[in-house]
Every structure is written in C-alpha cells, then in structure tokens.
Amino acid sequence: MKINRLSTILASGKKNLLSIYFTAGYPALEDTAEIALALAEAGADFIELGMPYSDPLADGTTIQDSSQQAIANGMTMDLLFRQVEDIRRRTDIPLVWMGYLNPVMQYGEERFLQRCAATGIDGLIIPDLPLHEYEANFQPLARQYGLLFNFLITPQTPEPRIREIERLSEGFIYMVSSAAVTGAQAGISAEQIGYFERIGAMGLRRPRLIGFGISDKDTFLTACRYADGAIIGSAFIRALSKGSTPAAAAKSFVETVVS
Amino acid sequence: MTTVDEKGYYGEFGGAFVPEMLYANVEELRSRYLDIIYEPAFQREFQHLLREYAGRPTPLYLAKRLSAHYGFTIYLKREDLLHTGAHKVNNTIGQILVARRLGKTRIIAETGAGQHGVATATVCALMGMPCVVYMGEVDMARQAPNVARMRMLGAEVRPALSGSRTLKDATNEAIRDWINNPHDTHYIIGSVVGPHPFPDMVARFQSVISEEMKGQLEDHTGRAHPDAIIACVGGGSNAAGAFYHYLDDERVRLIAVEAAGKGIHSGHSAATSILGTKGIIHGSRTLLMQTPDGQITEPYSISAGLDYPGIGPLHAQLIGSGRATAIPVTDEEAMQAAFFLARTEGIIPALETAHAFAALDRAGIAPGQTAVVNLSGRGDKDLAAYMEEMGALKIL
Ligand SMILES: Cc1ncc(COP(=O)(O)O)c(C=O)c1O
C-alpha cells in the first residue's frame, strides 16, 4: 500500500500540528488550489478541504455562508476532485476531505472513496456518518483504498464511546472544543481546559487535534498545550477577504499563527 | 415493516445520522423515551391534558353534503377543533411532558405554518418554560397571525435567515441551537422527521387520532375500519397519527397527499414522493428533493406547513412498499378545495388540510365506500391567502 501523507505526519512526532479548514470553491470557484498552495507554503501541516453542503447542520454562519457561496459559484463533487488533482501536482501537503454524508451517498460510497484515493486525498471527516455505518459500509473500503477516517468527540461524548471511537479511528481524534457549532468564540475557558485534560489523561492511542473556536495564535498555542495540534476553520475563512488575494490572505494568516 | 426497529429504521429508511455534537442528546432521548411515555403516571397526565386542556376526543363527523357530492361516505376527523387549531398540540403536550421528565428547562422548536410553533408556545406557557421558536423569514411573513400568537404566548420567535428561509432552514437552526445547548434544552420537533427516536415518538403521540377513529367508526357504522384514510403530508405527523392503528390492516387504503405547488414538474413543488430520491435530511435516511450532487433543493408550496423537501421515514417506507399511495395536489386545487369545503360543510380548513380534500375525487374510492379525511387544522391562519384568492375571484 502506498504511504499515506496524513499518517506520515501524524506518526512523525511533530508537535503543534496546524490544520486549516476551508470551504472549497470559496470565495471564487477556482480559489481552492491557490489557497491550498499558500497554506502549504506558509507552514500549515495539513488541510481540511470542505465540500460545501446546502444544509451543514454542525456549522455556524461563517461556514454556512461560505458553503452557500461556493455552491452558487458552481462547486460540485467532481470539480472538487479535479481541484484536488491540481493541488496534488503541486504539493505533498496531507489533504483531508471534510463534508456531509448525503453528497457522498449520492456519489456512491465506493466510487467516492476510489476517487478520493485516486486524486490524492489522505483522510476523511464526515461528521454525520454514524459509527456503525462506518464500520459496516466504509471501513473495509477505506482500508482497501488507503484512506484514514477521523472521528469527532465532544465534551458530552461518554468515555465508553470515546474508547469505541479510538478503536475505529485510523487517523486523528478531532476534539470539538465545546458544545457548539463551528464559528470562533473568544478565548478558551477553564471548563474547556478541564475537558482537554480529562481526555489527555485517557492516554488515547491516536493523536488528538482540537478544533472549533480556535481562531488565532493565542488560542492555537493554548490548544496545543493539551493536544497534538489544532484546527482553525471559521476564523481562517473570515480572514480570506483581508488580503490582496485570498491566497495572500491565507499565507499571512498562517504566518501570524506559526510565527 | 411499519414499526421502527431497534436501530430506528423503517426498512431501509430512518436511523440517526447526526454529528457527534448531537449524539448525547439524541441518545439520551432514545434510551429513555419508551420507558417515560409508557409509565402510568405519564399516561395519566398526558391523557388528562389531551382531554381537559386540548379538547380530546375530537369528533368524527359525517359530512353529509360532501358525501352526497362525491357519492361515497366521508367522515371528517376534526383535529381542527383542538385547542390551538391543529393536530400539532397532541405532540407538543407529549413532548413537553417527556422534556420535564428528562429534567430539561428550556424548549426549542421549528415551525413552518406556525401551527407547531403555536402549539409549542402554548404548552411552554402552560408549564412555565422558556420557549424559542425558529421560523423561516418567508414563513413569518405569510403566517403573520401565528407569529403574533406565539409572541403573545411568551415565546421568542427567531427568524431563520439561511437557505430558502422556510421550514427546512428553521429545522436546521433549531438543530444548531440544540447543539449549542446540550444540557438544559429539549427540541420539540414538529413532525415525524429528524433522527430516531423523533419519528417514532411523534407518531406515537399522534396515534391518538386513529385510536379514537376506530371506536368512533365502530359507533357510527358498526365497523371499526374505513375503506380509505386521506391525510396531507408535510413531514407526515397528522398522516402518521391517522394511519397508525391501521398500518397493518390491509383493508384500509392509506392516501398521503403531497403539495405539488405550481405543478409537479414546474420547478416549484414539494411533491417529495415523486421528485425525491433516497438520501439524508435532518438526520434521517428518507426520500428528499435534491440535486444529483446531493444538495438539498428548495421546495415550494403555497402552504407553509407542506413546504418541506423530505417526508418522514415511515412515509418513505409506506409509499415505497406500496402500502400507502401518494397523490400530488397543486396550490390551485387546494385553494378550490378549501372554498368548496367552506361552502359545503361550513368548515374553513387550513391550506395544508385543503390539499387532502382536493384528493377526494381522484383517490379511487368507489361509490358506497367509506373514507375518513383527517381534518388536520383550521384555516384562520390562512385568511390572508384566502382573502387574496377572494380578491382575485371578486368575492371580496
Ligand atoms: C394544519 C396542518 N396540517 C398539516 C401540516 C403538515 O404537517 P404534518 O405533515 O407533520 O402533519 C401542518 C404543518 O404545519 C399543519 O399546520
């Protein structure tokens, strides 16, 4: 089996992993690859490429709005795969496909995973994919195609379920920082730190990345004290309009976080 | 396969496709709802409120003039006579009692026509619980009287500003609120939609409709089953309640009436069973209207309560298996049926309900047979639409 770029970086022992989420096809349809390249160049460790969805239940207004815009721009599953091929010709940064289950079902589960592998996707996050559905219908194919599924936990996830998620996760464990949809709120509370420490003490076999509400260098570094890295999404998407081009904005955003 | 299995499926439909952020809430409800609702003290309180507060049992009325017109016997199950004017209150009474037993102190809901929002605001006032209702901005405009009623009852009505700004988007907003408030909040969903256990729980609360129907038909006709039951389907809760005790009785034809809007293939329709394909909406695997790429499309109906791009998984199963028949009805046909019912029986129905009446002449009911139409709600809330029609017809 070919080497998976995501598993390579997760196994590297590198600390303070920075993952950036953004909506593919936003602000303009063809910005996806340029933003991804800028992220790689500026020092992001991996990228979560968001396939826009009409009804993103777990997302706040920033990602809802960027998704709506991307769909209006003409984003489709096939176009995203073509953009991934373009990104892959130009960088080796690990790519995680993130999106909701319905478009995957319509594409066809096997055809989807096969295309992911063929175009150079390394991992997947499908927040509304139930664990038993994953185990029954996705896990064998994901193994066959060398793709790593990553699952979410929240402050409400009970411990036996976290163990189940640990057992099924082949990439990283995505720690949702608080009971909330995506969209940066200010700071990290003592209660959240208590949750980070509680999960830290479980000694999970998989790396942990903290996401939701991570918005800048300060919150990034705080999160990294309790995990292997962190994920920035909404704050990054909002920053895309603050530069001469989205790619330039992406680069300067990442530089302020990793500097 | 008319009842839900352990994992929450009706055949291939149903389930709980929810992000982890909702898992704990949905699981808490799933693991406890049956124990709670079949506890004797719960049943006593529920039955008491249905009777003394909501006004159950509702009459099963023999519509003589309507029957004479169509040439078969038509009974009307008068859910429109319930407190708040629609069947929705059967469910909200049940769910708020569940919420209290789960220790929840705050209630949220989505609403389309505003009937479910009003029914939720009502029980929240009754129980002294804070209530937030999400409603699409478009629906707030077309159902203004219900917005005012909810506010008078003390509820906060929050406009859903995303997407088509109708029922689908109000449901998204309510789900996001629940994600943000996992501890103190119960989400009173308004139809047999959403992740398991909601479709099953709501169907059980609405099943009182067909439970009463059985006894009433027996009294009226000496036979506890009709030949056909006709109900409109938005998400499908009034239909689920009207069908429930006859689901396995093949002698009874089940007719689910959908909103065809300006015509099934006009691009402005909500006829999900025809235009829909299998997929996931609001955490449930069912039939829904979507693009080939899996983006959910905007439905359209003149009636805000039928303007939903999916149907409950029970109905997807019933229609898919041939147990129920779906009949599409356009805006115009529903409007005509509303006026015809008003002038034939002296009953002004909700626009949603009017769709069910428009299907009477094409449901294939033979002379001499008996049909029950579930009169899910009354038309006060739709007066603006009816006045517009009368303006066009120069009756006003
Ligand atoms: C009077 C009436 N009937 C029917 C409906 C449709 O909902 P359901 O299909 O869940 O009964 C509504 C929804 O608002 C309604 O107000």
In angstroms, the CA A238 to CA B168 distance is 26
On whether both B265 and B334 belong to a single domain, the answer is: yes
pLDDT at residue B2, as a whole number: 67
On whether both B69 and B162 belong to a single domain, the answer is: no
Last residue of a domain, one of B178, B201, B224: B201
Residue nearest to atom 5 of ligand 1 (CA): B305
Cα pseudo-dihedral B282, B288, B290, B292, rounded to 10: 110
On whether both B218 and B278 belong to a single domain, the answer is: yes
Asked if B175 has any chain A CB less than 8 Å from its own CB, the reply is yes
In the predicted model, residues of chain A with pLDDT beneath 50 are: none
On whether both B62 and B120 belong to a single domain, the answer is: no
Residue B156 lies in a domain: yes
Residue B10 lies in a domain: no
In angstroms, the CA A256 to CA A151 distance is 28
- Taking CA–CA distances from A133, the nearest residue in chain B reads B17
On whether both B314 and B197 belong to a single domain, the answer is: no
In angstroms, the CA B36 to CA B43 distance is 9
| CA distances, B117 to each of A17, A161, B51, B97 (Å) | 46, 35, 21, 17
pLDDT at residue B142, as a whole number: 83
Last residue of a domain, one of B169, B201, B233: B201
Sign of the C-alpha dihedral computed for residues B169, B170, B175 and B177 taken in this order: positive
On whether both B211 and B294 belong to a single domain, the answer is: yes
**B2 phi, psi to nearest 5 deg:** -100, -5
Write out chain B residues lying below 8 Å of A58, CB-based.
Answer: 19, 21, 176, 179
pTM (2 decimals)? 0.97
Q: How many domains does chain B have?
A: 2
In the predicted model, residues of chain B with pLDDT beneath 50 are: 1
Residue B93 lies in a domain: yes
Residue B290 lies in a domain: yes
On whether both B239 and B346 belong to a single domain, the answer is: yes
On whether both B237 and B255 belong to a single domain, the answer is: yes
Last residue of a domain, one of B182, B201, B220: B201
Residue B2 lies in a domain: no
A59 in active site? yes
pLDDT at residue B207, as a whole number: 98
Write out chain B residues lying below 8 Å of A161, CB-based.
Answer: 23
Q: Could you read off the pLDDT of B260-287 as tens digits, one per residue?
A: 999 999 999 999 999 999 999 999 999 9
On whether both B241 and B193 belong to a single domain, the answer is: no
Residue B101 lies in a domain: yes
pLDDT at residue B163, as a whole number: 79
On whether both B386 and B309 belong to a single domain, the answer is: yes
Residues B108 and B75: beta-carbon distance below 8 Å: no
On whether both B317 and B211 belong to a single domain, the answer is: yes
Q: Give A137: exposed, middle or buried? Use CB within 10 Å, 0-12, 13-18, 19+.
A: middle
Residue B7 lies in a domain: no
Please judge whether B24 and A152 are an interchain contact, meaning their C-beta atoms are less than 8 angstroms apart. no
Cα A2 from chain centroid? 22
Facing B280 at nearest CB: one of A101, A152, A161: A101
Q: Which of B24, B307, B19 is nearest to B170 (CA)?
A: B307
Average pLDDT over all residues of chain B? 96
Residue B112 lies in a domain: yes
ipTM of the complex as predicted: 0.95
Query: Do the strands B284-288 and A208-211 form a parallel or antiparallel pair, or are they unpaired?
Result: unpaired
CATH number at residue B147: 3.40.50.1100
pLDDT at residue B162, as a whole number: 84
pLDDT at residue A184, as a whole number: 60
Domains detected in chain A: 16-258 (3.20.20.70)
pLDDT at residue B62, as a whole number: 98
Q: What is the amino acid identity at position B51?
A: R
On whether both B224 and B327 belong to a single domain, the answer is: yes
Query: What is the residue range of B311's domain?
Result: 56-85+207-392
Residue nearest to atom 6 of ligand 1 (CA): B234
